[in-house]
Copies of this chain bind each other. A is one copy, B any other.
Amino acid sequence: MNIGQAAKASGISEKMIRYYESIGLIAPVGRTDAGYRVFSDKDIHTLRFIFRARSLGFSVEQMGNLLALWQDRHRASADVKAVAYAHIEELDNKIERLMSMRRTLQHLAEHCHGDHRPDCPIIGDLAGLADPLDAALSSEHPTSPESVRDTVSQS
């Protein structure tokens, strides 16, 4: 099997297959006399393993660990589980960070008129107004850099 077929069969691009080989995530595969890579069924299977692990968000380093565990007949499932839970925790952290951003932004956006007027609590928050919602709802002037700077330097 050539690299093109291997890419199609595994879901991993040719570029990435070469890359994974270059960084040692996968062992160097066979070569023809002309230097073309030759992929065995086992190689393809390893690539599919990587494809699935990647789609679960595992990093290259974690995939290396998982591959090692996969190839270890005497592994303890507890070790695999530990890698999985460590990754779940990472995912949780990322999710929480994104959801926190989302909450803040949603809250600000909900209170933005969204019309032709310049006043906007979103800009107000970014500009660092103490209470961007109130400011936007009550102020008569837009929250542009100059006006904000004035406000700030006056305080």
Contact = CB atoms under 8 A, between A and B. Distances in A.
Interface of A: 41-42, 45-46, 48-49, 52-53, 55-57, 66, 69-78, 80-81, 83-85, 87-88, 91-92, 94-95, 98-99, 101-102, 104-106, 108-109, 112-120, 122-123, 125-128, 142-146, 148-149, 152-153
Within the oligomer, what is the number of copies of this chain? 2
A33 to B, nearest CB: 26
Chief secondary structure at chain A's binding surface: helix
B71 A122 contact: no
A101 B45 CA distance: 21
Given A95-B95, A98-B91, A101-B57, A125 B81 contact: no
B120 A80 contact: yes
A123 B74 CA distance: 13
